[in-house]
Structure 1
């Protein structure tokens, strides 16, 4: 994740070439071999980070998916004797490992659909291969470009920039017009938000970006940017970092004397901000889902998740949950659990939309859109302050 953009692209091309070579020797795709109809057992494989720096996203998505599978099977949603089966595999933060595991899943004729990685670099590397093999894959997170690229790639996370406007509106409404940005330039989702999308939002809302400081994924000491930003004393600092980085950055900013408003991102949601203690109090951040939402579907999901796992769900769990329900709706809509049938059903549901844990879900092509909310961390819990 610390590579330059050029090196990331070169590595991805090497990975894709290797995957295509391996996949060409694989078994005949299920879509060519299976008969139409819903099989008694529909196998899904999840390939996502269950360990490593963004394991919170991968584990959350996996747990949400597990809960959805339990509900779908218990309700006999796909019919008597019909069930979903989900195998989760750890990509461990490595593009090459994600590529190898997706290739293995492609070669298993019993796998009807893949639940893809949460990191944009991994997802962009595997997307061309699943398209070439005509196997549907549903990603969560992975909001960078090059992920949803054709008929077989789908994303069950609304790109952060599609609901991050809640933050710009908040800053404008609070008259916090002089804003600085501290961001991870090697994590595509955050880099694109900081360099392209947020500046456009700021301009539209009349905000003035007084400074924008990029850091690496490996950066864990923010003393220098913290001192610089504290001296500038902007009205607000937009912190577009990974969760562990945000904790250190906010702590060092407060220690440097900054007392203004912090605006975060989905990495701070679901209690992650608590790790920064008093330094994160009153931080706000846009999210596609909050456990504090009061709409009925969200409350039902929160209760079920808490009963199953003994804790409140984070946004990643809601994404994983709605991704699997999207697949279930797709199979039911098409009446066909083959790879081609699942693809057709996913596309049909994308045109129609559905209601999930994240609210009223719509799509642009194969890409999910949700309303999103603005949350505030009060030091003890998360509260929704706008929708």
Structure 2
């Protein structure tokens, strides 16, 4: 796969106003006509963070997508001589760059579908552009509002709140009633979970939220909130932070005297919790996919991924993999690899559902849903403790 890690940042930023204006004008003339059948080469462009603080999510999704493309082409799933081609571009954590690179991709009439950013802020900026241009985009992660907004926006990640209930149920069953929440209020997915969804889950499970403290994405010193939480002596602390932040926060919470249960999120999955050393031992976190799952579909993906990349896949890789297979199923279902054909096919597969690396996948509209599992980190590896 050609990962285009370009030095286009400055140029991309300067092009944003003009490109957004172009999107508003509707470039229907460059869009392939529906009913054109399946082309011999079907071009896709991925725009996601391959560098920066959440590169683990972007790189994981890109690798999962790469593996799916290899399988689809190797099986000649879309027909003899038909190939998917995927070009990856780094959005480098910048909203303006993501919007510019997506708009650049849409101007290429040979691009049939876009694999969108992993950050909600970037995806919310991209969504109106692809809707105006009438080009299908499949996002991964980006679980905040304002992403799936119309007929051309699709999401191949179940919003975290749709499976995070596993955590509240666990706390209730374990009798860990008093809970503190430490969360990143800048990152929409985590902020919405902390401020809206988890309180409702906690009430249903009979939990008492004794403290809820927001921090920023730039926060790296958690001494003050750690001391504030430790003084409350909760039974559990729900840590809704980015991976690098979680390491520091858990360390400083232990240093402040907190000895209870840590509950994390998908950012801690796939071995990321290991960075916190002994402080993370026993941490639990809901995930949409874990390499520890034993179902046949999961094992097949894990084995293929490990053979290809020499390591276990994280949840982001499973999402990227299932996103590309969703697109392949869509093309096969519609018999049409044009932009409109892929859009129609994505909607059809969303109505029918399919089985992927993450299990039996269903949808609400254009938005993916998966069962999810609760994982525990024992200091060396991840295990599944509930489904």
Residues 65 and 324, structure 2, Cα contact 8 Å, conserved in 1: yes
Contact 1:16 1:129 in 2 (8 A): no
Matching residue of 1:347: 347
Match of 1:260? 260
Q: Over residues 138-194 of structure 1, what are the superposed CA-to-partner deviations in whole Å (9 max), with x where a residue is unaligned?
A: 000000000000000000000000000000000000000000000000000000000
Residue 297 (structure 1) aligned with residue 277 (structure 2): no
Q: Which residue of the partner structure matches residue 384 of structure 1?
A: 384
Deviation at 1:286, TM superposition (A): 0.1
Contact 1:182 1:237 in 2 (8 A): yes
What is the correspondence of 1:183-262 to structure 2 with a 5 Å cutoff?
183-262=183-262
- Residue 36 of structure 1: how far off its partner (Å): 1.4
**Counterparts of 1:29 and 1:340, CA distance in 2:** 12
Aligned to 1:103: 103
Are the aligned partners of 1:243 and 1:272 in contact in 2 as well (CA < 8 Å)? yes
Residue aligning to 1:29: 30
Kept in 2: contact 1:78–1:332 (CA 8 A): yes
Contact 1:143–1:159 (CA<8 Å) still a contact in 2? yes
1:284-312 Cα offsets, whole Å, 9 max, x none, are 00000000000000000000000000000
User: Per-residue CA shift, 1:313-368, capped at 9, x if unaligned?
Assistant: 00000000000000000000000000000000000000000000000000000000
Q: Distance in 2 between matches of 1:207 and 1:237?
A: 12
Q: What secondary structure is seen at the aligned counterpart in 2 of 1:179?
A: strand
Is the 8 Å Cα contact of residues 47 and 117 (structure 1) preserved in structure 2?
yes
Unaligned runs of 5+ in 2: 1-14
- CA distance, structure 1, for counterparts of residue 60 and residue 74 of structure 2: 21
1:118 is displaced (CA, Å) by: 0.3
Shift of 1:228: 1.2
CA distance in 2, matches of 1:205, 1:29: 52
Query: Offset of 1:17 from its aligned partner?
Result: 6.3
In structure 1, distance between residues paired with 2:307 and 2:382: 19
User: How far has the Cα of 1:31 moved from its partner?
Assistant: 2.7
CA deviations on 1:53-84 (whole Å, 9 max, x unpaired) are: 00000000000000000000000000000010
- How well do the aligned residues superpose, as a CA RMSD in angstroms? 1.4
**Where does residue 136 of structure 1 map in the other structure?**
136
Q: Is the 8 A contact 1:16 1:128 kept in 2?
A: no
Would you say the 8 A contact 2:26–2:133 is kept in 1? Answer: no
Q: Tell me if the contact between 1:31 and 1:340 (Cα under 8 Å) persists in the aligned partners.
A: yes
The alpha carbon displacement at 1:130 in A equals 0.4
User: How far is the alpha carbon of 1:27 from its aligned partner?
Assistant: 8.0
Aligned 8 A contact 1:239 1:265 in 2? yes
CA distance in 1, matches of 2:189, 2:102: 22
Structure-2 separation of matches of 1:382 and 1:301: 17
Structure 1 residue 28, shift from structure 2 partner: 2.9
Is residue 362 from structure 1 mapped to residue 362 from structure 2 by the alignment? yes
Q: Give the Cα–Cα distance (whole angstroms) in 2 for the partners of residues 19 and 300 of structure 1.
A: 42
Q: What's the CA shift string for 1:97-131, capped at 9, x where partnerless? A: 00110000110000000000000000000101100
Matched residues in 2 for 1:324 and 1:206: separation?
A: 40
Question: Aligned partners of 1:164 and 1:143: how far apart in 2?
Answer: 12
For residue 31 of structure 1, give the secondary structure of its aligned residue in structure 2. coil
Contact 2:28 2:134 in 1 (8 A): no
Equivalent-residue separation in structure 2 for 1:329 and 1:260 (angstroms): 46
Partners of 1:231 and 1:25 lie apart in 2 by: 57
Asked whether the equivalents of residues 270 and 382 of structure 1 are also in contact (C-alpha less than 8 Å), the reply is yes
In 2, distance between residues paired with 1:112 and 1:148? Answer: 18
Aligned residues: 373
2:60–2:317 CA contact under 8 A, matched in 1: yes
TM-score (normalizing by structure 2): 0.94
The Cα of 1:21 is off from its aligned counterpart by 1.0
Query: SS of the counterpart of 1:180?
Result: strand
State the partner residue of 1:4: none
TM-score by length of 1: 0.94
Q: Which position in structure 2 is the counterpart of 1:272?
A: 272
